[in-house]
């Protein structure tokens, strides 16, 4: 099978289209014929091995343990192991797996769900990591309630576009933060208010929010706390920006250390796609309450270009690779 591989950390030129043997599927796994795979900051970090902090998470200190990159996946079930009962050959699924930048990938059933019937494979591949991250950030860490005010920083990005829509599903008054060229997109997603950060400082303390979901990852905690109500919650997503050692994850660590000593709740989220959350996203997508935003698609052979164009989470929605 054709697969994109990498044998060292680095920029997108470390990726090579290669011929590999088909994945071996265990009794409790299934084989997916990949139709599309999502591209996001998670893949970028694993490709570059930066910040160095991510290498300590079992991914390989000197080189990646997994040769084939990619997490988000949408495709059809090819075969199932003898212990798998929830899925059958021919089922259309979406979720996460290791090595989705390939024609076939093995996956565990608990990280998959039936593909939303109203989405293409390309749209579905943009949902799992970003959609679950937004869901966990708002519902689980943020405990967002109907009637509350929510500020979504990076509202036009992969996680942000889902967060704006999900916050509206939860009944919040939503303000999105983005650049000038993306204001119309964020407004079209249902945001009640949109702030162009190039023209307005939303951390000056004049307006305060009960929940801030920060997906952009570059503003100091002290600035973000100025925009929080005294008992508000800040949820930091991912670890963009910062140095080569800890990158933006330093803010997550500092937030965890500071939170017990202040009235505001400072939280962080590093999401995983659980089956129950994928099913929830499937339901709200099929109900027309949430729609994935796909900015660009690339064929598998151009995965390196897709990663080069992915600006560490500051794009417009999700980038997807078609297989």
Read off the pLDDT of residues 265-311 as tens digits, 9 standing for 90 and up: 999 887 778 999 999 999 999 999 999 999 999 999 999 888 877 65
Q: Is the pLDDT of residue 243 over 90?
A: no
The answer to which of 197-211, 216-230, 232-246, 259-273 has the lowest mean pLDDT is 232-246
Q: Are residues 135 and 265 in the same domain?
A: yes
Q: Is the pLDDT of residue 261 over 90?
A: no
**Share of residues in the chain with pLDDT > 90 (%):** 73
Q: Quote the CA–CA distance of 322 and 315 in Å, as a whole number.
A: 19
Report DSSP letters for 220-259, one per residue.
-HHHHHHTEEEEEEEEEES--SS-TTTTTHHHHHHHHHHG
Q: Is the pLDDT of residue 248 over 60?
A: no
Q: Are residues 199 and 145 in the same domain?
A: yes
pLDDT at position 122, please? 98
pLDDT band with cut points at 50, 70 and 90 for residue 207 = very high
Q: Quote the CA–CA distance of 248 and 228 in Å, as a whole number.
A: 20
pLDDT band with cut points at 50, 70 and 90 for residue 14 = very high
Q: Are residues 155 and 122 in the same domain?
A: no
Q: Are residues 159 and 227 in the same domain?
A: yes
Q: Are residues 123 and 229 in the same domain?
A: no
Q: Are residues 77 and 51 in the same domain?
A: yes
pLDDT at position 259, please? 79
Mean pLDDT over residues 98-102, rounded? 95
**Share of residues in the chain with pLDDT > 70 (%):** 90
Mean pLDDT over residues 155-182, rounded? 97
pLDDT at position 41, please? 81
pLDDT at position 63, please? 80
Indicate the number of domains in the chain: 2
Q: Are residues 107 and 83 in the same domain?
A: yes
Q: Quote the CA–CA distance of 162 and 72 in Å, as a whole number.
A: 15
Q: Which of the listed ranges 60-74, 200-214, 233-247 does the model predict with the highest average pLDDT?
A: 200-214
Q: Is the pLDDT of residue 56 over 70?
A: no
Q: Is the pLDDT of residue 312 over 50?
A: no
Q: Is the pLDDT of residue 251 over 90?
A: no
List the CATH number of the domain containing 195.
3.40.50.720
pLDDT band with cut points at 50, 70 and 90 for residue 48 = confident
Q: Are residues 155 and 265 in the same domain?
A: yes
Q: Which residue has the tokens 């579905």?
A: 124
* Structural domain boundaries, residue 148: 130-269
Q: Do the Cβ atoms of 238 and 46 come closer than 8 Å?
A: no
The answer to which of 149-158, 211-220, 283-292, 302-311 has the lowest mean pLDDT is 302-311
Q: Are residues 143 and 180 in the same domain?
A: yes
Q: Quote the CA–CA distance of 123 and 115 in Å, as a whole number.
A: 10
> Does some domain include residue 285?
no
How many alpha carbons fall within 13 Å on the CB side of residue 25?
A: 23
Chain mean pLDDT for the chain: 90
Whole-model pTM: value is 0.93
The answer to which of 80-89, 128-137, 300-309 has the lowest mean pLDDT is 300-309
Task: Tell me 181's DSSP state.
Answer: G
Q: Are residues 153 and 108 in the same domain?
A: no
pLDDT at position 313, please? 46
Burial bucket for residue 72 (CB in 10 Å: 0-12, 13-18, 19+): buried
Q: Which of the listed ranges 49-63, 191-205, 265-279, 301-315 does the model predict with the highest average pLDDT?
A: 191-205
């Amino acid at each position: 099978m054709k697969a994109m591989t990498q044998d060292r950390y680095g920029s997108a030129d470390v990726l090579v289209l290669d011929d590999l043997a088909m994945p071996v599927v265990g009794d409790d796994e299934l084989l997916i014929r990949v139709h599309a795979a999502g591209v996001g900051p998670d893949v970028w970090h694993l490709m570059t091995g930066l910040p160095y902090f991510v290498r300590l998470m079992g991914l390989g200190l000197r080189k990646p343990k997994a040769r084939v990159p990619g997490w988000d996946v949408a495709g059809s079930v090819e075969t199932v192991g003898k212990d798998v009962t929830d899925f059958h050959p021919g089922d259309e699924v979406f979720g996460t797996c290791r090595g989705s930048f390939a024609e076939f990938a093995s996956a565990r059933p608990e990280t998959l769900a039936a593909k939303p019937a109203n989405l293409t494979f390309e749209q579905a591949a943009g949902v799992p990591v970003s959609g679950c991250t937004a869901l966990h950030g708002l519902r689980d860490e943020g405990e967002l309630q109907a009637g509350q005010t929510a500020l979504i920083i990076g509202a036009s990005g992969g996680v942000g576009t889902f967060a704006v829509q999900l916050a509206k599903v939860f009944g919040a008054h939503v303000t999105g933060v983005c650049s000038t060229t993306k204001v119309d997109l964020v407004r079209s997603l249902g945001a009640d208010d949109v702030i162009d950060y190039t023209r307005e400082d939303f951390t000056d303390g004049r307006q305060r929010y009960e929940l801030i979901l920060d997906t952009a990852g570059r503003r100091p905690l002290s600035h973000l706390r100025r925009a929080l109500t005294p008992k508000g919650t800040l949820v930091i997503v991912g670890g963009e920006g910062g140095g080569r050692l800890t990158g933006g994850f330093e803010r997550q660590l500092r937030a965890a250390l500071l939170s017990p000593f202040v009235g505001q709740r400072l939280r962080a989220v590093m999401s995983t796609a659980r089956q129950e959350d994928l099913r929830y996203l499937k339901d709200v997508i099929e109900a027309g309450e949430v729609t994935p935003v796909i900015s660009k698609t690339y064929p598998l052979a151009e995965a390196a270009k897709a990663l080069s164009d992915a600006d560490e989470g500051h794009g417009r929605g999700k980038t997807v690779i078609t297989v």
